[in-house]
Chain A
Amino acid sequence: GAVVSQHPSRVICKSGTSVKIECRSLDFQATTMFWYRQFPKQSLMLMATSNEGSKATYEQGVEKDKFLINHASLTLSTLTVTSAHPEDSSFYICSARGGGQAYNEQFFGPGTRLTVL
C-alpha cells in the first residue's frame, strides 16, 4: 500500500518556540493532505484539510495562525506549530490521499509526538 512518512517522530521544545512537522507521501502523489491531532486515549480530531497549491481549510476551533499548514508540492505538507505552549503537546498525525482509484482512501503517517516544556 501507499506509504506516508512523518518527521520528526518525536520533538521536545521550549515554550514559545516554533516546531515544524513534515509529512511526505513516498510513492504516490497526494492531492489532499489532512492533519489530525490526538489527545491521550482519545480519537483523532481533524485539524485541517489542504489541497496542493491551495490554502488549507481549518476546522472550527483550530487557530490557523497558530497551526500553519503548507502543501507546496504533491508529496509534501508541513505543519508548523508557532509559539508553542504546553497545551499544544499532543500526538499529531498526517494523512494523505491521491487521485484516481485511491480517491477515497486515506493513508496515515506514523505520527509525531510533540512535547512542549
Chain B
Amino acid sequence: AQSVAQPEDQVNVAEGNPLTVKCTYSVSGNPYLFWYVQYPNRGLQFLLKYITGDNLVKGSYGFEAEFNKSQTSFHLKKPSALVSDSALYFCAVKLLGNTPLVFGKGTRLSVIA
C-alpha cells in the first residue's frame, strides 16, 4: 500500500523568502507524485506532478518540486514566497493503473508580510 507523509503541520515563512514544504512517500513500485493547494472552503487546485523524466518539476504560480528517489521525497519549493501563497498544501501519490490518489495530511503554509 502506498502512503504519504507530510511531517510539518505548519510552515511559516516571511514574504520574499524561499519556502519548502516537505513530502516523503512510500510505495511498492514507481510513484506518480502530485502537489495540490487548497484555499478555505474550496476544492483542490493542481500545482504540479511528477510522472517520469526530469526530477525537477515546475508547476503553477512559480512552484517547483524535486523528485528524489533515493530519499523517497518530493518537496515543494518556491524561491520567493508571497502572502497569497498562504494556504493548505497536499502531497499525493498514486501507482500506475486505475488507483486513486492517496493524500498526505496536509501542511498549512503561512506567509507573513
Taking Cβ atoms with an 8 Å cutoff, the residues of A that contact B are 1, 6, 32, 34, 41-44, 46, 49, 51, 91, 93, 95, 103-111, 113
**Contact residues in B for A95 (Cβ distance below 8 Å):** 100-101
Interface secondary structure of A, over-half rule = strand
Residue from A51, A103, A108, A109 with most neighbouring chain B CB atoms (10 Å): A108
Chain B residues bordering chain A, tally (CB within 8 A): 22
Give, as a whole number of angstroms, the nearest-CB distance from B24 to chain A: 15
> Considering the chains assembled together, what is the distance between the CA atoms of A91 and B28 in angstroms?
31
Asked if residues B96 and A43 are in contact (CB atoms below 8 Å), the reply is no
Query: Which 9 pairs across A and B sit closest by C-beta, in order of nearness?
Result: A110-B43, A108-B44, A111-B43, A43-B105, A108-B43, A44-B103, A43-B103, A43-B106, A34-B100
Chain B residue nearest in CB terms to A45: B103
> Considering the chains assembled together, what is the distance between the CA atoms of A5 and B27 in angstroms?
31
Chain B residue nearest in CB terms to A104: B32
Asked if residues A104 and B51 are in contact (CB atoms below 8 Å), the reply is yes
Q: Is B35 an interface residue (CB 8 A)?
A: no
